[in-house]
Structure 1
Amino acid sequence: MQGTILVLDGVSTNRIMLKVQLTSAWYRVAQGDRVDGLLPLLRRVRPDLVLTAMFLPDGSALDVRALMQTDETLADIPVVAVAPQNDRAARLRALAAGLDEVLVQPYDDVLLLARIRSLIRSHANTEELRAQGGPQALGFAEPAAGLLAPAPAASVALVTRKSGTGAVWRSKLRTLTRHRLNIHRLDDIHSLLTEPVPDAIVMELGAGGKGLNLLADLRARSATRHAAVIAVPEPCNPNLAAEALDRGADDVMPAGFCADELALRLDTQLARKVRSDGYRASVRDGWRAALTDPMTGLHNRRYAMPALQRIAASARDRGASFAVMLADLDHFKRINDQYGHPAGDAVLIETARRLRTALRPSDIVARVGGEEFMIVLPDTGRRKAQHMADDLCQRINGQSFTLPGCGKPIPVTTSIGLLVSEPGAITLQGAEDVSGLIEQADRALYVAKGAGRNQVSMIQSAA
């Protein structure tokens, strides 16, 4: 099944017809006929979309939307209304009230199903982002899901077949929106695909596949993948609108350009984009936090181990060398005991800075223990690895550390266990082999500690 749709209509024959149509498209269908008692029904069914008649025996589609807004678990579910006649003013009021679409009877079946697919897909993507790392998942408060805050002034590209059409659209929209409007011709979109990328794109679709091909291209490009796209078939063409939705348009205007309606749809789509961008940023920040040591800003063990496995596998496949170091600060406990933990933290932070500035961009340095650091050097043989390890030792012991609350700088040294893997020295079957590499580097570190500290001990990887 593709999802669950709740059909609301006071006329039983209408509900039956929609159920037959939607069931044949592999949707589960639940039914209701009024606003009264709707909340318990919604909570029980948990639909992916609500398809309601504009007018119900005890209310309207606007009442349905308002009721759903009172429960944040329901507030973001898409709502599509079916109106008995083309009342432009009523349609605009419905869109302004938060309905996702208003279709007029007799509506086009192909367009209805395309609109349902598009809205359910968008809703599912939003819910997935929220589950992965939205503000609530990270422990922060968040407004109810469906309460979209107005988007700040944004950049909107008007893409039309003729520049004159774009000029007319911009002229009519200027007094209705605060967003910045820029004109682009469909035949000359180079500037559209270069920085800065617009936040929203309003695209005229006409005969031929150029507009649809551009739409697919926009969705395939990383720079424009998350731009809000509204397609405007000119002249009115429900089939073209339906195909635009299936190609990735966020919204369509099946009846053609209407400035008042487009301004409303722009505000809605841009507000959704702001929210989705926020969720994506939360996901990125969450992953970054999960893979970063908060004190030093270096990578942590969770990041370093898979990275080592990738570097080792690449070296094996290319017949290249790589090196692994474990660096441990000597007598670090004494620093904490004598000067306090803030001083110890300062030593760790400064050590991380010195290690990071000594390494190449391709190298990896991670804090993997209290005072232990792992360094991975791709494409590095014995001589180069030895030189770099000696340099790291010198960078730590060559200049004393200035500590908070301490009258004079104190000397700090480090011991380094160095493992160098030459071509053919490792088969690398999985994570166990990576752990074996760490164990070998740890043995080398133990030798350096036993030999008096403040030095490097190197071994070659065992096969």
Structure 2
Amino acid sequence: MSARILVADGVATSRIRLKVRLTSACYDVTTTGTAEDLLRMARETRPALVILGRGLDDPHPIQLCHRFSQDPDFANIPVLMMTDPASRVDALRAGATAVLDANVSELMLLARVRGLLRDADRAEDPGFAMAEAQASFESARPLIALIADNPARAIAWRRLLAQNLSYRFQTMDTEEALGSAADRGVDLYLIAADIQNHGDGLRLLSELRSRPGSKNAGFIIATSSERQDMESIALDLGAGEILPLDLNPPGRVEVAALALQAQLARKKRADSRRAEARRNMMLAITDPLTGLYNRRFALPRLAEIAEAATGARSSFALLALDLDRFKAVNDNHGHAAGDAVLRHVAQCLTHHVGPDGLTARMGGEEFLIALPHHDQTQAFRCAEAIRQHIAASPVTLPGANGGMTITATLSIGVAVAEGAAWHLPPEDLADMIQERADRALLTAKSMGRNKVMLSQAERAA
């Protein structure tokens, strides 16, 4: 589905021209000629982008931009202002996400639109791989990396920007910039489009955006007046803003300072949304009491482990675990005591399994452990170590039972998938191994509890 763009301009010919240019790029464009309609339509249609032209008189476009950007209902909607260069500072101060000359080329207009829509999409991306979050600058001043075409320019940038902003600035060469991606320390990169050779700044931008440690940073490209042909390319490669290479002429450093502030603010909002999305995702797949994965996550993950083992012709083991006489703990000591036992068991399981295995609470007092690349002997040893650890570790009870300790025990069923099972589809293999582990668990319970039972052997501990 194409992105919805709302264009507001008091001049009909300007609206029509913008609509034609954007519609030709397959965007869903709606237009209005009044501020009242803009605010109403923005609430009703929730556009992905708002473009403000110069033809609005009541209120003035700058005032309307400020009103729009300050409205909580529109907090996540970027605003692109089409105005004259002399009004750029006022537009940025009013909260415009980006500013373009009203007579901009179609190439540059579409590149800027693509960039704004891309950044909005990235802000909503939760990053399912759950990589380490980008370092926050809540308590530390943001770090800006300056990669110029020569050392003197980098020093001049730092001097001029430091006069207007209380951020940390560090000049870097290309190698240092790439190295900075490893520690996730840079919040924004200001890069000359041509560092030593034509276009190598754009290649650096592309490389930094592809690396996990720097892909969520902000990026600004600086170009000379002779290299404006590179601006649309820079935006398409991921730059959030374009600045002139020389910041000395009057007014330019103020524009640059506002641009840096805007990019950092966008990065902060995007980081916050990604962190919230990760939190929500973790809540959906983890058990809130123990912090282990829940059943919803564990069963599909078990099928993935079975598929990987089948493809690699490698064994894997499954442990079904159940606390013995857990109901008596709740009945005799209360549910707070039962929760303390469950948390204690979860910590023990996590310690013994480590990051390479899967540990989940399946419900109540039932747990599941999957151990890739484990044969029967290894799986039994792991299960026995867990059983002994739990039995030898009294749990201190909270609340009214504070100071009292009880000892919990586990019964464990172990099943191993190896050669003979590789012909099964992964889902069937996972179901079969889980069923065998469950049967072994029931056998362990029937033989007196606090035992480890292998699914294909009458061996117990």
Partner of 1:35 in structure 2?
Answer: 35
User: 1:183-332 counterparts in 2 under 5 A?
Assistant: 183-186=171-174, 189-206=177-194, 208-235=198-225, 237-253=227-243, 257=247, 258-332=252-326
Contact 1:237–1:255 (Cα < 8 Å) also in 2: no
Q: For residues 163 and 252 of structure 1, what CA distance do their matches in structure 2 show?
A: 20
Partner of 2:164 in structure 1?
Answer: 176
Partner of 2:105 in structure 1?
Answer: 108
Pick from 162, 166, 189 the counterpart of residue 150 of structure 2: 162
The answer to which of 411-420 and 323-332 deviates more is 411-420
| 1:442 aligns to 2:435 (yes or no) | no
User: 1:276-425 counterparts in 2 under 5 A?
Assistant: 276-404=270-398, 405=401, 409-425=405-421
Show CA shifts across 1:132-169 (max 9, x none): x9xxxxxxxxxxxxxxx999620001110101001111
Q: For residues 438 and 255 of structure 2, what CA distance do their matches in structure 1 show?
A: 67
> Between Structure 1 and Structure 2, how many residues are aligned?
441
Q: For residues 300 and 50 of structure 1, what CA distance do their matches in structure 2 show?
A: 42
SS in 2 for 1:343: helix
TM (norm. structure 1) is: 0.87
Contact 1:417–1:441 (Cα < 8 Å) also in 2: yes
Partner of 1:144 in structure 2?
Answer: none
Partner of 1:138 in structure 2?
Answer: none
Partner of 2:85 in structure 1?
Answer: 86
Contact 2:11–2:55 (Cα < 8 Å) also in 1: no
Contact 1:35–1:56 (Cα < 8 Å) also in 2: yes
Deviation at 1:369, TM superposition (A): 2.2
Deviation at 1:116, TM superposition (A): 1.4
SS in 1 for 2:332: helix
Distance change >3 Å, CA 460–CA 81, structure 1 → 2:
same
List alignment gaps of at least 5 residues for structure 1: 134-148
Show CA shifts across 1:407-431 (max 9, x none): 7543432211111222222434243
Contact 1:319–1:424 (Cα < 8 Å) also in 2: no
Q: For residues 254 and 110 of structure 1, what CA distance do their matches in structure 2 show?
A: 19
Show CA shifts across 1:209-267 (max 9, x none): 21111111111111110110011112353321111001111111268642111110111
Show CA shifts across 1:176-219 (max 9, x none): 00111111234764544443531000111136121111111111
Q: For residues 202 and 375 of structure 1, what CA distance do their matches in structure 2 show?
A: 48
Q: For residues 183 and 122 of structure 2, what CA distance do their matches in structure 1 show?
A: 26
| 1:3 aligns to 2:29 (yes or no) | no
Q: For residues 337 and 346 of structure 1, what CA distance do their matches in structure 2 show?
A: 14
The answer to which of 166-175 and 29-38 deviates more is 29-38
Contact 2:306–2:427 (Cα < 8 Å) also in 1: no
The answer to which of 251-260 and 280-289 deviates more is 251-260
Q: For residues 288 and 129 of structure 1, what CA distance do their matches in structure 2 show?
A: 11
Partner of 2:133 in structure 1?
Answer: none
Code of the aligned partner of 1:248: G
Q: For residues 42 and 167 of structure 1, what CA distance do their matches in structure 2 show?
A: 44
SS in 1 for 2:73: coil
Q: For residues 263 and 344 of structure 2, what CA distance do their matches in structure 1 show?
A: 46
Q: For residues 358 and 29 of structure 2, what CA distance do their matches in structure 1 show?
A: 53
Deviation at 1:279, TM superposition (A): 1.1
Code of the aligned partner of 1:169: W
Deviation at 1:341, TM superposition (A): 1.6
Instruction: Calculate the aligned-residue CA RMSD, in Å.
Output: 2.8
Show CA shifts across 1:282-301 (max 9, x none): 12222222222222222222
Contact 1:161–1:186 (Cα < 8 Å) also in 2: no
Q: Which has the higher helix share?
A: 2
Q: For residues 265 and 294 of structure 2, what CA distance do their matches in structure 1 show?
A: 36
Q: For residues 401 and 8 of structure 1, what CA distance do their matches in structure 2 show?
A: 66
TM (norm. structure 2) is: 0.87
The answer to which of 323-332 and 181-190 deviates more is 181-190
Q: For residues 81 and 358 of structure 1, what CA distance do their matches in structure 2 show?
A: 58
Partner of 2:57 in structure 1?
Answer: 57
Partner of 1:117 in structure 2?
Answer: 114
Q: For residues 333 and 150 of structure 1, what CA distance do their matches in structure 2 show?
A: 46
Contact 2:181–2:212 (Cα < 8 Å) also in 1: no
Q: For residues 190 and 452 of structure 2, what CA distance do their matches in structure 1 show?
A: 62
Distance change >3 Å, CA 73–CA 150, structure 1 → 2:
farther
Q: For residues 44 and 406 of structure 2, what CA distance do their matches in structure 1 show?
A: 67
Contact 2:126–2:278 (Cα < 8 Å) also in 1: no
Distance change >3 Å, CA 187–CA 82, structure 1 → 2:
same
Partner of 1:21 in structure 2?
Answer: 21
Q: For residues 124 and 337 of structure 2, what CA distance do their matches in structure 1 show?
A: 45
Pick from 77, 94, 98 the counterpart of residue 95 of structure 2: 98
Partner of 1:142 in structure 2?
Answer: none
List alignment gaps of at least 5 residues for structure 2: 131-136
Q: Percent identity, aligned pairs only?
A: 37
Contact 1:7–1:31 (Cα < 8 Å) also in 2: yes
SS in 2 for 1:380: coil
Q: For residues 12 and 231 of structure 1, what CA distance do their matches in structure 2 show?
A: 34
Code of the aligned partner of 1:299: Y
Q: For residues 139 and 291 of structure 2, what CA distance do their matches in structure 1 show?
A: 33
Code of the aligned partner of 2:191: M
Contact 1:364–1:375 (Cα < 8 Å) also in 2: yes
Q: For residues 402 and 11 of structure 1, what CA distance do their matches in structure 2 show?
A: 75
